[in-house]
Amino acid sequence: MATSTLGTTANNSLTALPMAGALAAADIATIANLILNDQINTYPNQPIFVGAFAQSGLLYVPNRGILKVLAGDYVGVDASGWPILVSKNAIANAAWTHVP
């Protein structure tokens, strides 16, 4: 599986990864390397928030806390390096779109 795009029906602008079984290390690394530390320097000079996303399904939101990503959920990252977790239910029933 590879990364995809994610967004609302008005805009598909996030790089995303659906949580589905065993994910390729390269796909996890792609998402993890996009997540930036928003408390150091100012955009666009923020460093990567090391360890932000892992195969274990834990998403470390920079300087905020930890979220458990469940099967079917999507983890997206916006252009500023901020992670976004969208639940399986929201993907299926709300105004979210994704392109595999």
Nearest to 28 by CA among 64, 62, 3: 3
Q: What is the pLDDT of residue 19?
A: 86
- Per-residue pLDDT tens for 15-37? 888 887 778 889 999 999 999 99
Q: Where are the domains of the chain?
A: 25-91
- Per-residue pLDDT tens for 48-83? 999 999 888 899 999 999 999 999 999 999 888 999
Q: What is the pLDDT of residue 13?
A: 74
Q: Residue 61 has which token pair?
A: 């939101």
pTM of the full structure = 0.82
